[in-house]
Structure 1
Amino acid sequence: MTALKAVIRIDRFISNATSLSRSQVQRVIRAGRVRVDGVQIKKASLPVRLDAEVYLDESMVAPPLPRYFMLNKPIGVVSAAHDPSQRTVLDLFDVPKRTGLHIAGRLDIDSSGLVLVTDDGQWSHRITAPSNHCPKSYAVTLAEPLTAGQISKLETGLLLKGETKPTKPATVEQLSALELRLTITEGRYHQVKRMFAALGNHVEGLHRLSIGGLLLDQSLLPGEYRPLTPREVGLF
């Protein structure tokens, strides 16, 4: 589905495209100051297409452009929009309308690497939906070396604690005795750490290198981010 066929709430449409907050937009909508495709509306939750003709009073509101970022998440930052005690991924972003952004592909607080952030829900769904089997690659540092038999189990699938269905086959590239590159196509809860725990091992370090065909920009220092290019957005 293309961006222009997507729909969002009218209050979010106007808030994302102007300097008005969501609550301010809701007030002007209730006051009857908004028209969509020539029709006055008073319902803030009304879904509208991104190519709809929206007017606030006599001024046309240009459709909000979706935003796409990659972040090199540092260790110690929570993959969440809000947290009462921890610094979050969104706290790292100095952009307008930050509250409209969400995370597509979370990482544990003690893990680092590529995180995607957007306000395009359909785009992020293509990345995170389990049925799409989007591959993700990680640099993994282990407490103990793997045996050939353990690598074989990773490559064929193994049963995680508390589950009845084995993992899908992973790709393993041994980099050194304690370091490897692991690629998986699932997103189960703490999956990488649980896979190695099932082998009696422990993950000492976890850094995400890629999601799908998108590689983490090596020029980004921990905590830095940049917008995705149109080519990168089109990978999903």
Structure 2
Amino acid sequence: MPTLKRLDQLLSNLGYCSRKEARYFLKDKRVRVAGEITKSASLKVDPANVLVDGAPLDMPDGILVMLNKPEGYVCSHDNNEGSRIYDLLPSRWEARNPKVVSVGRLDKDTTGLILVTDDTKLVHQLTSPKNHVDKLYVVSVDRPLEENIVNEFAKGVMLGDGEEQCLPAKIEIIGENMANVTLNEGKYHQVRRMFAACGYYVDTLHREEFGAYCLGDLAEGEWRNLIP
């Protein structure tokens, strides 16, 4: 049995309008329920039966998408920080309730897989340190990689002044200056700091996998819905 929701609250939660503005949507005959135009904002409806401007509701069951983040974009809602990952997604999503957020962050110069969702439980599940969710990064550095870095990462890199130690991480050298790095922590700028502690400067950093999610052939700047 589907959960029925009040029409004006449903439209507001999905970012179409405020609850107050919903009456204008209805007055302008933009909303149909089960094929019929309705003017009742308080009507309890099944979201699957609602059309706005002739189209089904946009992801009424929640949002979980995978985005291939380009360089130069920030994982922030603040317009003052420059180009945002949310600028690559439908603008209506920013008005949704619950709020649409990224699962963790990638810094401005890092590219690749970022998950975006309105599921707060999933955010906690994927980012909680106790769950040890693996993340795979492809890294290029400024000079040839030496084999001893494999052991350094495996025993846990000491960051900064040696007072903060990372958990063991896996590094696979795949080219003279390139490596795959798998870790399950989320310290601030962790991958770059780990390489810096070993004497390398990271030129490019790209996340390819996050837990069970893999970027695959998703083009840069594009996103894919992960909810069936």
Q: Given the two structures, how large is their TM-score scaled by the length of structure 2?
A: 0.75
Question: What is the SS of the residue equivalent to 1:75?
Answer: coil
Pick from 8, 13, 16 the counterpart of residue 13 of structure 2.
Answer: 16
Pick from 73, 82, 85 the counterpart of residue 86 of structure 1.
Answer: 82
Q: Which residue of 1 aligns with 2:180?
A: 181
1:147 to partner: Cα distance: 1.7
Question: What is the SS of the residue equivalent to 1:175?
Answer: strand
Question: Aligned partners of 2:102 and 2:148: how far apart in 1?
Answer: 36
Query: In the superposition, relative to structure 1, how do residues 114 and 61 fare at CA in structure 2: closer, same or farther (>3 Å)?
Result: same
Question: What is the SS of the residue equivalent to 2:193?
Answer: helix
Q: Which residue of 1 aligns with 2:119?
A: 120
Question: Aligned partners of 1:129 and 1:147: how far apart in 2?
Answer: 32
Q: Which residue of 2 aligns with 1:111?
A: 110
Are 2:225 and 1:224 aligned? no
Q: Which residue of 1 aligns with 2:25?
A: none
Are 2:125 and 1:141 aligned? no
Question: Aligned partners of 1:228 and 1:142: how far apart in 2?
Answer: 32
For residues 69-123 of structure 1, give each alpha carbon's deviation from its aligned partner in whole angstroms, at most 9, with x where no partner exists.
0000000111112231401011111253333311002111011000000111111
Structure 2: gaps (5+ residues): 23-39, 48-59
1:59 maps to a residue whose letter is L
| Contact 1:16 1:97 survives alignment (8 Å) | no
| Contact 2:101 2:118 survives alignment (8 Å) | yes
Are 2:44 and 1:60 aligned? yes
Q: Which residue of 1 aligns with 2:167?
A: 168
Are 2:71 and 1:75 aligned? yes
| Contact 1:14 1:61 survives alignment (8 Å) | no
RMSD: 2.4
Question: Aligned partners of 1:82 and 1:23: how far apart in 2?
Answer: 26
For residues 8-55 of structure 1, give each alpha carbon's deviation from its aligned partner in whole angstroms, at most 9, with x where no partner exists.
xxx986622473326768xxxxxxxxxxxxxxxxxxxxxxxxxxxxxx
Question: Aligned partners of 1:18 and 1:223: how far apart in 2?
Answer: 23
Q: Which residue of 2 aligns with 1:35?
A: none
1:60 maps to a residue whose letter is K
Query: In the superposition, relative to structure 1, how do residues 198 and 96 fare at CA in structure 2: closer, same or farther (>3 Å)?
Result: same
| Contact 1:73 1:113 survives alignment (8 Å) | yes
1:112 maps to a residue whose letter is T
1:163 to partner: Cα distance: 5.7
Q: Which residue of 1 aligns with 2:29?
A: none
Question: What is the SS of the residue equivalent to 2:72?
Answer: coil
Query: In the superposition, relative to structure 1, how do residues 120 and 61 fare at CA in structure 2: closer, same or farther (>3 Å)?
Result: farther
1:222 maps to a residue whose letter is E
2:62 maps to a residue whose letter is P
Identity, % of aligned positions = 36
Q: Which residue of 2 aligns with 1:34?
A: none
1:205 maps to a residue whose letter is T
| Contact 1:210 1:216 survives alignment (8 Å) | yes
Question: Aligned partners of 2:46 and 2:12: how far apart in 1?
Answer: 11
Q: Given the two structures, how large is their TM-score scaled by the length of structure 1?
A: 0.73
Question: Aligned partners of 1:61 and 1:163: how far apart in 2?
Answer: 59
Question: Aligned partners of 1:76 and 1:155: how far apart in 2?
Answer: 31
